[in-house]
Amino acid sequence: MDIRALDDTALADDVVMRDFYDVNRRAQLHGRLHAPFWEFGEFLGAFRSTDSGERQELFAAYDGDRMVGNAVLWSFLLDNTDKAWFHLSVDVPERRRGIGRALAQRLEQTAKDDDRSLILADAILPFDDRECHAHQRFAAACGYELSNYEVVRHLPLPVPDEQIQEWIDEAAPRHAGFTVQTFVGAVPDDLVESLCVLLGQLAVDAPTGAVDFDEEAVTPQRYAEMVATTAAMGRARYETVALTPDRQVVAQSTLAMSLEQSTKVYQWGTFVHREHRGHKLGLATKAVNLRAVQTMRGDLTLVITQNAETNNYMVSINERMGFRPIEVAAEFVKRL
Ligand SMILES: CC(C)(COP(=O)(O)OP(=O)(O)OC[C@H]1O[C@@H](n2cnc3c(N)ncnc32)[C@H](O)[C@@H]1OP(=O)(O)O)[C@@H](O)C(=O)NCCC(=O)NCCS
């Protein structure tokens, strides 16, 4: 078995990337066959897009010509430069042969050579076996500590429009003077700066367990790249924002919806500025955004979200909206 770094030529090669996706898919869906998983086109769009705030490096483990495992390492470039994080997959029939450990060691060495002192990874675990599951044991065997538990929740769609209206009506008196608006794709130029500030603060204010994150530098360039990445994935990006009378963005919620065959909707961030909490802007932006995607596509089946188990405010909004817990995403950390 040898581990190869995949260069830009490999990234541009659909055959190599199909192997990468298939190994990933089999590894991630093992034991959870019906879990939502992104389509090949969504994966390609994401991996071939640029984010000027992160370096992405791909590695694959080969047995002869056969890809048996793979990994992606992301290294923050503008902030949190002490950290890197990764995804690691080993094909199901190839497990317990040391491939996972060898890939993890390669990633750790790469991060160390780049002066990173913290390396992070995550893994999906079933609720009832989260303490003893194989992925938890693998992480421990490789010297990782648990840093955080997030809970993955699903909301079956459609949600009746009268129910959405009820949430909007309940929230409205608490934020009189603010307007709530939805944009598909990029928000207008005059809103980009205050939206970027919010997007950058999410990692600081959302609970992240044992690891503290510095504010993220979300520049207008990175924001434009995020919008372009979403389009490259064949998804529409729905951004609902709450605006002050002088058009400052003080709350936001993002949904990404497939424009192709997938009927799944991905909830990305929801964030209310520190100075504007307690006005039900979280519920309001989420409800308005949900209505917008349901209006656009009547066949949507599910919204998928994930939050820290300890994020009481966000979790209570999600429970209120009917999201149900499905599984756990454990986050692990190792000091290099
Ligand atoms: C987790 C994963 C990467 C492990 O890959 P792997 O190639 O089977 O791991 P290794 O063979 O290198 O195992 C290294 C050590 O981890 C532990 N381990 C791995 N799988 C285990 C299992 N099923 N039960 C108990 N311990 C296990 C063992 O201590 C093992 O050493 P040993 O075989 O000498 O006892 C693989 O199961 C996978 O792809 N899972 C889905 C993706 C994922 O969750 N990745 C993130 C992990 S943080």
The residue ranges of every structural domain in the chain are 2-116, 154-326
pLDDT digits (tens, 9 = 90+) for 112-130: 999 999 999 999 999 889 9
Cα-only R_g, the chain: 20
**Best residue for ligand 1 mutational test, from 33, 86, 96, 132 (most atoms within 8 Å of Cβ):** 96
Ligand 1 centroid, distance to 304 Cα (angstroms): 26
- Class of residue 331 by CB neighbours under 10 A (exposed 0-12, middle 13-18, buried 19+): buried
Tell whether the model's pLDDT for residue 260 goes beyond 90. no
The rounded Å distance from CA 80 to ligand 1 centre is: 28
Architecture of domain 2-116: 3-Layer(aba) Sandwich (3.40)
* CB 134 near ligand 1, within 6 Å: yes
Name the nearest CA neighbour of 239 among 248, 251, 228.
251
Size of the chain, expressed as the number of residues it contains: 336
User: Counting atoms of ligand 1 from 1, which one is nearest the CA of 90?
Assistant: 39
CA-nearest residue for atom 10, ligand 1, is: 98
Q: What is the pLDDT of residue 209?
A: 83
pLDDT category, 202, cuts 50, 70, 90?
confident
The mean of the pLDDT values for the chain is 96
Mean pLDDT of 243-249: 96
Q: What CATH code is assigned to 154-326?
A: 3.40.630.30
Give pLDDT, residue 297.
94
Rounded to 10°, the helix 281-296/312-320 angle is 40
Question: If you measure from the C-alpha of residue 87 to the centroid of ligand 1, how many angstroms do you get, rounded to a whole number?
Answer: 13
Q: Given the CA of residue 69, which atom of ligand 1 is nearest to it?
A: 39
99 lines ligand 1 (CB under 6 A): yes
27-81 pLDDT, tens digit each: 999 999 999 999 999 999 999 999 999 999 999 999 999 999 999 999 999 999 9
From the CA of 28, give the closest atom in ligand 1. 41
Do the domains 154-326 and 2-116 match in fold?
yes
147-163: pLDDT as tens digits:
999 999 999 999 999 99
Q: Could you tell me which of 16, 21, 70 has the C-alpha nearest to residue 43?
A: 21
